[in-house]
Each structure stands twice: as structure tokens, then as C-alpha cells.
Structure 1
Amino acid sequence: MARNNSEEANATRLAELVNQRFEDNQNSTPKIQRVPLFLRQNPHFYRYCTPKMISFGPIHHSNQNLKQQGQHLKLQWTSLYIEQYRKLPTFNDGCSYLFCLENFDIEHPEALNLKVDQWMHIWRDMTLLENQLPVKLLKLLSTQKGSDLENLLYNFVTMGAVKRNCTVMIRLAYTAESVHHLLGFVRSYFVGESEMETEKIGSDLMAHLPLLPHPWQTYKNVRDLKKSGIRVAKAKSPEWKWNNLSFTSRWFSGRLRLPVYVNNDVTPYFFRNLIAYEMCPDFCSSFECCSFFSFMDSLIDDAEAVKELRSAGVIQNLLKSDQELANFLNDIGHELPTKIFNHLRSNAAPFQQEIC
């Protein structure tokens, strides 16, 4: 009898496994996300994905060091927020988060009772993937106080320009409704919508590179481009976006214009978390951030390549040495999808053979 029950249980379990429908991760709705496990297992990568001063949400809530450093700030901001909008429900993280967004201004960090160096640490921590709050929660709280969440998010992206100018930013194709948290909104701001232009640039650039048997091995670094007659210069527009690049063909020479890239102590945190966000299994994208840094990694392999781009006005390096910047780009290059699947063709622009 026991054997029959066991066989029936096994048969039922087998049927469940056979009929199980696996949910497509890319169709799920991400809210509070963790850095993918295989990236968390890399201590050198993951240390750039954990907050150092303040935490929001449940993932790092129990970190005692963060409680000592950031909890008093959240309590102050929540108190001021509730005092201003008395009818709102008390939710410590949500209210303090909105108060921070509303008063975020690099020229006036004292509005948040911060020094400018503390302000930058807060900005960095708020862009971490594991330090996000759902937009749905922020939307609920902001609606109740009568403010526009999109303007608050734009104020964060522009580091207080919206608040200083008292203007409403021009709406782009994305809104607070189309993203899930602040990092997603920041990413959307930088991605833009000029993918077709990027593909055309790649096709023109490819025509000036030496023909090799394998299309992925077309050049090693910026010095190889220079030997091919291609000069690198900064983009005509001062706007820093990943698609703000162009290539001009001049018969046996060419000019590649790139957005000015400023590297400081904060950028390794910011860009690693954008890369981690794009690599989350439940987020569908064309790897725009990963693609940009894959391209930069292909241009830079040592300090001399950084020096070439600095001389061209493309890079402003605030680190102690050019080699440190080269190490950063080479280090994250090993984690990018372009390096893992460089033999595949995908719809992410720099993965295309015409560009790489």
C-alpha cells in the first residue's frame, strides 16, 4: 500500500514537472531588484553595488553601518516631509526619498542638511540597483501631496536644475509610468532614441577599418584607428549621451566624434549599477550602457590610449592616473555581454558586426 502511494506521489510530481509552465523573466514586472547572483559572487564587482551611506528599501535595511550613517537623515527628511504635507501616511523610506528628490540641488546641498561631499555620496547610493523604491509607491505619495513625480525625477537627473530654474522639463518618450524605479528613469534619460543613427555610424566606421578574416578583430585600440587615418575628436554638442557620436568619411581618412567622458570616483559605482541593471534577467533592453562601455573598452587598453583620448578632448580623467581609468574600463569589459557572446549577432547596436 505504501509502495502504491509512493508511486502515485511520484507520478503526480512527474506530471507537475512535465506540465509546469515557466514564467518568462523578461515579461515579469521588476520592482525591487537584486544584482544578478553571478555578479554578486564577484566581490570586486559587487562592492560597487552596495550603498555606503544610506539605504532605501528592504535589501540593505538591516545593515548596521548604514543605519548609523543614514537613518538619522531619513528621519529628518521624513519629519520635514510630513510636517509640510500633514495628510500623508507615514512611510519612512518613501517620504524621505521624495523629500530628497524634491530638494536635490548640487548648488544647495544644505537644503538636505548635507555638505557637498555627503550630497555626492547620497546621489551615488540612490543610483544603486539594490537601493531603489518602486515608482508605484512614489507615485502614490507624490500624487497625494499634489506634485509631479516626473519633475522630481528630472530634478534628480539634472542635479537640481529643475528646482533652480523653476521650470517643467520637456517630456520625452518615457515617463514615470514606463519605468519601475529611479535608476530605470536615469537610464532612460541617457539612452535616448537614436539607435538607427548609431547603426549608420558603425557602418561608415567599418569601411575605414582594415579587412580581417574575422569581423570582430578589426582594431585593437584608438592608436590602430589613428594608423588607419581615423582621428578622434569630442562631439560638437556638449550633451553627454551614449548616442552623441558621429563618424565623417573623408575618402582615405575619417573623423570619429565621441561624447566627452568625465571619470571621477563616483563613475565606477554609477556605471557598474547601470550595467548590472541592464543584465538583470527580468529587464529587457538592447544593452545600451553595456554597448557604450564595450566600445570604450575596445578603444582603450592601456594608459597611452587614455592619453590619446585626453589629448583629443574626449576624456577628462579626474583619477590619479590614466592607467587607473584603463584598468576600470578593462575590468568591467570582462563582465559585459559583448565579451561573453562576442561571436553572436544581436539587436544591441555595438554587438552588430558593422560596428565591432
Structure 2
Amino acid sequence: MAESKPVVSKVELPLKKGVIRIEDGETSQGRDQEAQTQSGLSREERYKMFEEEENEVQISKTPKIQKVIFLHRDHKHFVKYYEPRVVSLGPIHHGKERYQLAEKFKLILAREFVKSSGKTIKEICEAIDGKIKELRECFEEEVTKKYNDVDLAWILVVDGCAILQYIYLAVLDKLKELNIKPDSVAFCQQDLFLLENQVPYDLLELLMSLSNAKNELRNSVQNFIKKNHYAVLWDKQQGENTNGPVPENPQEENGKRKPTHLLDLLRSSLLGNDETTTQSSNGRTNRDRNQSYDWQSYRNVQELKAAGIHVKRSEAKSLGGISFSRRLNFYPGFLSLPPLIVDDSTGPKLLNLIAYEMCLDFKNDFGITSYVSFLDSLIDEANDVKELRKAHVLFNLLGSDEEVAQLFNNIGTDLVPDRDKYRKVRTQIQEYYDKTWVTWVAEFFHNHFSSPWTLLAFLGALFALALSATQTWYAVDSPPGPCDKFCEKFNKNL
């Protein structure tokens, strides 16, 4: 196969004596951006460079697999969440020395896949070779330009086969049969959902279609996504058997776009049917958005509780299942949130999902970003996490409540959510929060009935007061009895 020509950088400004080249994803972490410029350009040359069509930003129909943008990667708390811990998948981290140990296990998994597929490795490679141009276009140009078609096809064959076989065995809990330790299984599963560790879903679909076990493989992928969905959002059905038939082309039903990769598939699962253009508060149009609240005066869950707003667990199975209601349209208020599990994998998953939504070529509603931003507005300190735990909204498997609060405070930094997302809920909360009489009632109940003992003491005091009033009434204005009449007659006879 002839080697492909080097791909031109995405952002490349032609100059008379040099080139300004900016490589996506290059960061201050040992990979400083290189910029070569030549001074002394004439004003006419600058005009020409400014007006050239090549300088326009090109938006693809589908998002490309690419590096995490520098805005996230340069954050000192986040960089460790974007790098694979055990295994590199795809071309971005391929060949790095720290992942060489995992290459042996990838080959073992790939061999198992080929063996069960009924095909030879040559037949599979030839099928990938025939689609290598389309598969290369699934990546950002900077990611694959150093690989020729032969090398890129081999990377995709080995990694794609290994991914599918890993998922198939993980769902059946049979990875131990290949002597893969449980800790490696956990780290590999986390690495599968890193933005820089993705392979095209079209590749996985092609490999599954080549196998004699294509239906079983499709079922395993769908069930694997379900289990990782449940690992983020707790669901009462998570202990039930999730095995079952899935559509031949998941996410293509009802006009939905095909998934880009596994991380995209997980995002769609977590958002459910909420990935739509969110309407303004109370169905308002763009012209009267200014009538709803784009700000909030409350800072955390504790302030909401003091104002009479209680957090409760929502029955929703997606991150968008957030709502606000009032009992009998009066008092108190209830903020319903989907139940969230927080463990060691929560930070990496949420950060990579956010980084995916931040990709410049991915047009989306920022569903994950908006959810994390909303949750961050409720969590300010450890006591807020405690209140969410007590409401069974948050399940803390990470450690202390302070760690969870710090996690969301860090993740919530520098986020730009969709302001239309949860606009109605924010407006309802703020309107309720701004009612003075509601705050007075809430403070009264909060100060005097914050525990069952204060309520019992209050009821006891009321009962004692009622007995005292009754005793006084009988003493002052009680009707005459038999004894009173006898005493009256006796006094008259005297």
C-alpha cells in the first residue's frame, strides 16, 4: 500500500518567508507551542494573509477525535485525568514507553477477537485498509499526520479488536481467564473513556460486522455502556440483568446521529432524551428571556434549606432530570436531583466529557457541562455534600465530604454552561427564595423544629398550656354541681 502524503496542519497561515503553525493540544507540559514568524512584512502582505480563505475555521459535520484543548490540559489539577493510566488506545499516545507493558495484553485480547471472529488477521486488515481514508478523517489532522496508512491501519486493527474483546469479556466477567488482574481491569475501564484514548465508533462497527459473533458483541457494547451509566447515576435496576437485544445500529433510531466513539456513547446515555435545544423558562421565547433569572443569590444547599427548599432524590435516569416543585403550590419547596455516585472514576469521566463538549468542532447543548455547573452551584463545602448524602442524592464512595466538595469546586472552575439549560428550575428557585414571608416561615420551622425533640417539646408545652387553661376555666366559670346545690341549701337553713 502506498504511503499517504503528510496532512497539512489545521491552522497554518502562509507567509512570504515562513509559516505560523499551531498544533492542537500542545501544552506547557513539556510540549510548548512552536510559532515561527518573520518580521518586516509589508502592509499589503498582511492584508492578503488576513483575507485568505485558508485562514477560516472549518467545522466538520461530525466531531473529530482530538487532544484535550489547552484550557483544560494546562490546569494543574486536571492534567492527570486526561492521560491514560494503563493502556494507550488510538494514535495520540501510541508508542509511549510507559504503556508498553499493556501492549502485550492488547495483542492477547486482539488474538482472542480474531480467533472468535471466524476471520484471519489478514482479512481483517484488508477490510480496514479499504476504509483507512474514511477512518483517518475521523481524527484531527494533527493526530494522525505522523502515521502512514499502513501504520495507522495496524494501530486501529489491534486497538479496535482489543477494545471489543475487552468489553465482551468484562460484561461476562471473564477477564480473569486471561490473567488480567482486577486492578488492571479497573484502570483499563477508566482509560476507555478518555477523550485522547478514543477510536472511531465506525471502526468498532466495521470490526463487529466482520465477526461471526457480531450480535453478541453489539449486546456487550450496549450493556457495557449501561453499566458505566449506572456507575455514574445510581439506578434501582442496576443489579438486574441488563443483557438483552440491542438495535443493530444504536443511536441511529429516530433520526439520532451515530456515536463518534465510546465516550460520545456514554454521554448520550447519561443525558438520555435531554440533549435537545433547551427552551427558556416557562416556555418563553428569546425575546422575553430577560424576564427570567440569569443569576442566583443563593450559594449552596444549606442556604436553600434555610429558605425552606429541601433536596430530594429524583426518579429520573439521566443527568437532565432536575426539577423544582412546591407542596400544594405553597410551602415547602423541593429540588429534585438525579442520584449521583462519586468515586475515583467520577472526576476523570466528568472532566473528559466536559473536554469533549468543549471541542471546537462539536456542536452540542453542553449537557454535561451545564449539569456539573448546576451541581457546583449547590456545593460549597462539606456540609452541602452531607445534606445531599442525607437526601440520598449523592453517594460518596470517594472519601470524606470535604474531598467531594473540593472535587466539584475544582471541576466547576472556568465552565461556560448553556444558560438555557435548567433556566426554568433556576428561575423557580430564585422566585421562591426571594419571597420574604416564605423565608420567615422557613426560619421559624428551621429554628424551632429542626429536630424531633424540639417538636415533641413544643407539643408538650402546648398540651400543658391547654391543661392549665382548662383548669382555670373550670375554676372560674364551671356550671353548678350537686355539691354546690347541697351547700347552698345548707347555708339557707342555717
Query: 172-181 or 123-132, which moves further after superposition?
Result: 172-181
- Corresponding residue number in structure 2 for 1:180: 260
Q: Letter of the 2:227 partner, please give it.
A: M
Equivalent residue for 1:285, pick from 342, 364, 371: 364
Identify which range, 141-150 or 325-334, moves more after superposition: 141-150
Task: Report the Cα offset of residue 242 of structure 1.
Answer: 0.4
Normalised by the size of structure 2, how large is the TM-score? Answer: 0.60
Distance 2:95 2:302 in 1: 49
Change (3 A) 1:89 1:351: farther
Name the CA distance, whole Å, in 1 between partners of 2:276 and 2:259.
Answer: 23
Count of residue correspondences: 332
Alignment correspondent of 1:27: 60
Question: Does residue 81 of structure 1 match 2:107?
Answer: no
- Alignment partners' CA distance in 2, 1:308 and 1:319: 16
Which of structures 1 and 2 has the larger relative contact order (alpha carbons within 8 angstroms, sep 6+)? 1
- The answer to whether the Cα contact below 8 Å between 2:113 and 2:165 also exists between their aligned partners in 1 is yes
Which of 224, 230, 244 is the equivalent residue of 1:167? 244
1:299-347 per-residue CA deviation (whole Å, 9 max, x = no partner) reads 1100011111111111111122100000000011113114xxxxxx744
What is aligned with 1:328? 407
**Residues 277 and 365 in structure 2, CA contact (< 8 A), matched pair in contact too:** no
Partner secondary structure for residue 310 of structure 2: strand
User: Cα–Cα, structure 1 residues 143 and 195, in superposed 2: closer, same or farther, change >3 Å?
Assistant: closer
The answer to whether the 8 A contact 2:302-2:384 is kept is yes
Of 178-187 and 150-159, deviating more is 150-159
Question: Once the two structures are superposed, what CA deviation does each residue of 1:262-299 show, in whole Å capped at 9, x if it has no partner?
Answer: 11111111111111111111111111111111111111
Post-superposition offset of 1:43 = 3.1
Q: Which residue of 1 aligns with 2:103?
A: 71
Match of 1:248 in 2: 325
C-alpha contact 2:276 2:365 (8 A) present in aligned 1: no
Q: Which amino acid aligns with 2:95?
A: S
1:103 is paired with a residue whose SS is helix
CA–CA distance in structure 2, aligned partners of residues 84 and 172 of structure 1? 23
Distance 1:18 1:305 in 2: 53
List aligned pairs for 1:205-224, cutoff 5 A. Answer: 215-224=294-303
SS of the residue aligned with 2:171? Answer: coil
Task: Measure how far apart 1:151 and its partner are.
Answer: 3.4
Task: Name the SS of the counterpart of 1:354 in structure 2.
Answer: helix
Aligned-pair CA distance for 1:245:
2.8
- 2:58 corresponds to 1:37: no
**8 A contact 2:195–2:356 mirrored in 1:** yes
Q: Deviations over 1:3-59 (max 9, x none)?
A: xx999x985774354142555454353332110122222232121011101110111
Percent identity, please.
33
Unaligned runs of 5+ in 2: 1-15, 18-39, 126-156, 229-237, 284-291, 431-494
The two structures have a TM-score, normalised by structure 1, of 0.81
Q: Which moved more, 1:151-160 or 1:302-311?
A: 151-160
Alpha-carbon distance change, 42 to 326 in structure 1, aligned in 2, over 3 angstroms = same
Asked whether the equivalents of residues 288 and 349 of structure 1 are also in contact (C-alpha less than 8 Å), the reply is: no
Which residue identity lines up with residue 320 of structure 2 in the other structure?
A: N
- 2:272 corresponds to: 192
User: Any idea what SS the aligned residue of 1:104 has?
Assistant: helix
2:315 aligned partner, one-letter code: K
Report the AA paired with residue 31 of structure 1: K
- Counterparts of residues 9-28 of structure 1 (less than 5 Å): 14-15=47-48, 17-20=50-53, 22-28=55-61
Query: Structure 1 residues 141, 108: CA separation in 2 closer, same or farther (over 3 Å shift)?
Result: closer
Which has the greater radius of gyration? 2
Letter in 1 for 2:266: V
Q: Does 1:136 align with 2:169?
A: no
For the aligned residues, what is the CA RMSD?
3.4
CA deviation map 1:106-143 (0-9, x unaligned): 74442564333322211100000000001122222221
> What 5-or-longer segments of structure 1 have no aligned partner?
205-212, 339-344
Q: Decide which of 385, 391, 404 is 1:312's aligned counterpart.
A: 391
The letter of the residue matching 1:75 is: L
Aligned to 2:226: 158
1:166–1:315 CA distance, 2 compared to 1 (3 A):
closer
Is 1:354 the counterpart of 2:427 in the alignment? yes
Counterparts of 2:402 and 2:278, CA distance in 1: 29
Query: Which stretch of the first structure deviates more once superposed, 151-160 or 122-131?
Result: 151-160
